[in-house]
């Protein structure tokens, strides 16, 4: 039985978009909080609340703006005693500073992997490479664009299956 997925959508996306729907279609239980129109601090609060409530605790998958939000929320929830089983960060917006009062350290609280497209023209792959190296996080670089619709989605599914279990 696979663990559920907590999907943190991007800035211009919706809770059930291409990636989250793709995971649902593969048989995963996907919890997808609606963070449309929310700033980073509000998103972190919503995601932390979802992590507190979910049983069992889900694997966090965060895309772009949802990537930084999911990472910070996982750090905050872990400090509160929530055990996060894993993080999959998809082209995460790590150039953004965490909201004040959350964390100054972006060290993941659990096993984490980053997936990033080499043709991403929205978020610099170099920012994610530097962060991954600093925090000893494996990084999967794929020949894909920011939204990771092709090779990126295949890599995301592979990492979700590894961290959450296959459906």
Tens digit of each residue's pLDDT (9 = 90 or more) over 62-92: 999 999 999 999 999 999 999 999 999 999 9
**Best CA proximity match to 130, nearest among 116, 110, 149:** 116
Residue 102 binned pLDDT confidence (cut-offs 50, 70, 90):
very high
**Best CA proximity match to 7, nearest among 45, 36, 47:** 47
In this structure, what are the phi and psi dihedrals at residue 87, rounded to the nearest 5 degrees?
Answer: -130, 135
Alpha helices in 85-124 (DSSP H): none
Residue 99 binned pLDDT confidence (cut-offs 50, 70, 90):
very high
Mean pLDDT of the chain: 97
Residue 34's pLDDT is: 98
Q: Which domain holds residue 43?
A: 5-164
Which CATH number do you get for residue 66?
Answer: 3.40.50.1820
Residue 166's pLDDT is: 82
CA distance 47 to 52: 9
* 156: exposed, middle or buried (Cβ count in 10 Å: 0-12, 13-18, 19+): buried
Determine how many CB atoms are found less than 10 A away from the CB of residue 161: 14
Residue 1 binned pLDDT confidence (cut-offs 50, 70, 90):
confident
Report the predicted TM-score, pTM, of the whole model to 2 decimal places.
0.97
Residue 167's pLDDT is: 72
Residue 68's pLDDT is: 98
Residue 6's pLDDT is: 98
User: Into how many domains does the chain fold?
Assistant: 1
CA distances to 42, 45, 153, 164 from 81, rounded to whole Å, are: 21, 16, 31, 20
Residue 33's pLDDT is: 98
């Amino acid at each position: 039985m696979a663990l559920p997925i907590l999907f943190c959508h991007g800035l211009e996306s919706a809770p059930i978009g291409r990636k989250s729907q793709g995971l649902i279609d593969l048989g995963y239980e996907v919890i997808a909080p609606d963070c449309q129109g929310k700033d980073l601090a509000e998103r972190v609060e919503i995601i932390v609340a979802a992590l507190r409530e979910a049983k069992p605790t889900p694997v966090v998958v965060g895309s772009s703006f949802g990537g930084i939000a999911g990472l910070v929320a996982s750090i905050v929830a872990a400090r509160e005693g929530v055990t996060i089983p894993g993080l999959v960060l998809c082209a995460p917006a790590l150039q953004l500073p965490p909201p004040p009062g959350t964390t100054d350290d972006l060290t993941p609280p659990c096993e984490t992997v980053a997936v990033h497209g080499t043709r991403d023209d929205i978020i610099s792959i170099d920012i994610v490479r530097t962060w991954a190296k600093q925090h000893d996080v494996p990084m999967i670089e794929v020949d894909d664009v920011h939204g990771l619709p092709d090779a990126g989605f295949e890599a995301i599914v592979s990492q979700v299956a590894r961290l959450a279990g296959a459906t």
